[in-house]
Structure 1
Amino acid sequence: MKALYLLAASGLALTAAACGPKVPAARAALECPMKQGELTRTSVSPDGKACTYVSSGGAEVTLQLVSVQGGVDSALSNIETNLMAARVKAAEADKAAETAEAKPDEVAKDSKAAASAADQAAREAAADTKDIDVHVEVGKSGTVVAEGDGGVTRVDLPGIHIEADDEKDSARVQLGPIKIDAGDDTAQIRIRRDVRLRGEQLNPEKRGMRATFIYAGDDLGDGYHFVGYEAGGPKRGPITVAIVKSKDEELEDSDLHNAVKKLVRLNGGV
């Protein structure tokens, strides 16, 4: 009888293990449909780990499998750095061109003028601080600070952090997993969150991730005004990343965004 109980217990244990969430097999190649919404496929790599699309509006999309050696955040950071490299080079080239065009005597003159302007600005700033109207509200949830006309507004609440500077025409916003940094005719958005993998709705552990990065501005070089990515997949990798580039100055195409997200979800399993 004791042996029968042990056999029954072993059977129950095996059944419980079989019902538990299984680790999905790592994706080895992408599914790249010929059409996805308004996107049309233009190429597929021989190993099936990358494919390219173009939208009816001219946006370029590169879908690829990315390993996550060093961690998901490190992999995404590298992609972001590559996307923004053209922006850095463009800014450096513009600065070098302006310096080369300036004559020595003009440079000296401008330096003196800049120093004088800086002194004047410092004096004006010191005078202005005497009349700044600062309003502070402190509650159980957090703090809100507003500094008069043309000043800075700060909001610090659980999960919500906002800093807006009227004089610099800039704003930084964090709403949970969403981070926005805007100013000088540019805007940068990051979203990063843990999610459950497809078929694991009841699993208490979120073994997948989704991330979005968007940068819009006129300083990207090569005529581009928008770059970004949509990423998703198991944290252990590989993840699916769709890199988007566009020369459209006003890219507000929800159909494009939806098509990109569907490609990522299809291959990322999130």
Structure 2
Amino acid sequence: MTRPLFVMICALAALTAACDGERTIRISSTHTGQDGPHGVLKVVDALQCPQTMGSLTRKGTAHAGGSVCTYVGAKGAEVSLHLIQLDGTSVDSVLEAFQTRLSQEMPLTIARLRAAEETAAAEAARADGDAAQADAEAARADAAAAEESTTVQMPGVHIETHGDNADVKLPGINIQSHGDRSHVRIGGINIQSSDGSGQVNIQSGEDRVSIQSHADSTEVRTSTGGDATRITWVLNDPEASESGWRLVGYEARGPRGGPIVVATVRSRDSERGRVFADARDLVTLNVGR
């Protein structure tokens, strides 16, 4: 058994008190009402735009009929707060427009991520097109790996490895690792990852987290299940864009049918830090959690 796999198994066993001491891991989910665990979001007619919010200071007064406020933060960070009436338009199309505009602030970062994504897709297509050869190679690999197989069976624990493939079953935990792809289930949480594409997808019920990374560039999207809109999108890169930005993103919330409140963020720091938290607090002030 390879050392990384052994370490992973021991760590998981520790979570079930099978290695050293008594440890526990708890994953809980609570839902109240149709809008999920955070309560019902408010319907608002105009934005509340305080003069300050944490590290942010408002520039001027609300404009566009009380539907837009702008703020500045540390190191020239910029936050814009928007009240969007859907008027039959889908939330996805509204947020896609915000994402497109923000992505234009960091074009090289987006280009690198999309290129990596396309490369991974092309490689997957080539693999599918050469399935016969892959099956033959897999058969030979299975035969070669037979001598390196390991099986551990005890009450509540099943571990089986074949070369680079591993299946691990512990109480409440199921791990399948085949080549560069992994699938982990912990209670009601599903985690899928691919080293080749730099993608990680996490799902717990209707809640989802999607991560796309290449080198030091990262794109993260989160969404909370339920009828209401609760979506976060962040693009960050330690290498500044031509305009100096290292992080752009948005926080969007609103009741079913709208309106939704969207806080857009542009920052010269690659970490979310205070400015993103303050932007989120502006959204919370207007529509709730």
Shared fold (TM-score greater than 0.5)? yes
Q: Decide whether aligned partners of structure 1 residues 89 and 215 sit closer, same or farther in structure 2, where only a CA change above 3 A counts.
A: closer
- In the alignment of these two chains, the number of paired residues is 200
- Alignment counterpart, residue 202 of structure 2, candidates 174, 197, 202: 174
Is the CA contact 2:221–2:234 (under 8 Å) kept in the aligned structure 1?
A: yes
Shift in Å, 1:134: 1.5
Change (3 A) 1:247 1:256: closer
Uncovered stretches (5+) of structure 1, i.e. residues with no partner: 1-22, 93-125, 195-205
- The answer on 1:60 being equivalent to 2:81 is no
TM-score (normalizing by structure 2): 0.57
Match of 2:93 among 67, 71, 74: 74
Which residue pairs with 1:238 in the alignment?
259
Post-superposition offset of 1:133: 2.5
Question: CA-to-partner distance for each residue in 1:222-251, whole Å, 9 max, x for gaps?
Answer: 2211011111122211111100011223x2
Measured after TM superposition, the shift of residue 29 of structure 1 is 1.8
Q: Which residue in the other structure is 1:163 paired with?
A: 193
AA at the equivalent of 1:55: G
Shift of 1:268: 2.0
In structure 1, what is the Cα distance between the partners aligned to 2:98 and 2:41?
25
The aligned counterpart of 1:186 is 217
Superposition CA RMSD, Å: 3.5
**Gapped regions of structure 2 (runs ≥ 5):** 1-39, 112-136, 146-162
Larger radius of gyration: 1
Name the CA distance, whole Å, in 2 between partners of 1:28 and 1:59: 27
Give the Å deviation of 1:188. 1.7
Task: Return closer, same or farther for 1:53/1:24 CA change in 2, 3 Å cut-off.
Answer: closer
Instruction: Show the 5 A alignment for 1:37-116.
Output: 37-43=54-60, 44-68=62-86, 69-88=88-107
Amino acid at match of 1:172: V
Superposed displacement of residue 185, structure 1: 1.4
Aligned residue number for residue 35 of structure 1 = 52
Q: What secondary structure does 1:163 align onto?
A: strand
CA contact (8 A) 1:90 1:221 kept: no
Please give the alpha-carbon distance, in whole angstroms, between the structure 1 residues aligned to 2:174 and 2:42. 47
Paired residues of 1:51 and 1:64 also in contact (CA < 8 A) = yes
In the TM superposition, 1:125-140 aligns within 5 A as 132-137=163-168
State which drifts further: 40-49 or 171-180.
171-180
* C-alpha distance in 1 between matches for 2:215 and 2:42: 45
Q: What does residue 257 of structure 1 align with?
A: 276
How far 1:187 moved relative to its partner?
1.5
Question: Cα gap change, 1:219/1:65 in structure 2, threshold over 3 Å: closer, same or farther?
Answer: same
C-alpha separation in 2, matches of 1:80 and 1:35: 26
Q: For 2:232 and 2:248, locate their aligned partners in 1 and report how far apart those are by CA, in whole Å.
A: 11
> For residues 230 and 135 of structure 1, what CA distance do their matches in structure 2 show?
38
Question: Structure 1 residues 170, 208: CA separation in 2 closer, same or farther (over 3 Å shift)?
Answer: closer
What is the SS of the residue equivalent to 1:40?
Answer: strand
Give distance in 2, aligned partners of 1:265 and 1:39.
15
Equivalence for 1:215: 235
Q: Could you tell me whether the CA contact under 8 Å between 1:212 and 1:230 is conserved in 2?
A: yes
**Equivalent residue, structure 2, for 1:153:** 182
Residue 164 of structure 1: how far off its partner (Å) = 4.1
Provide the C-alpha distance between the structure 2 equivalents of 1:78 and 1:139, rounded to a whole number of angstroms. Answer: 44
Once residues 43 and 165 of structure 2 are traced to their aligned partners in structure 1, the CA distance between those partners, rounded to angstroms, is: 56
Q: Confirm or deny: 8 A CA contact 1:233 1:240 kept in the other structure.
A: yes
Distance 1:141 1:213, change over 3 A: same
Q: TM-score, normalised by structure 1?
A: 0.61
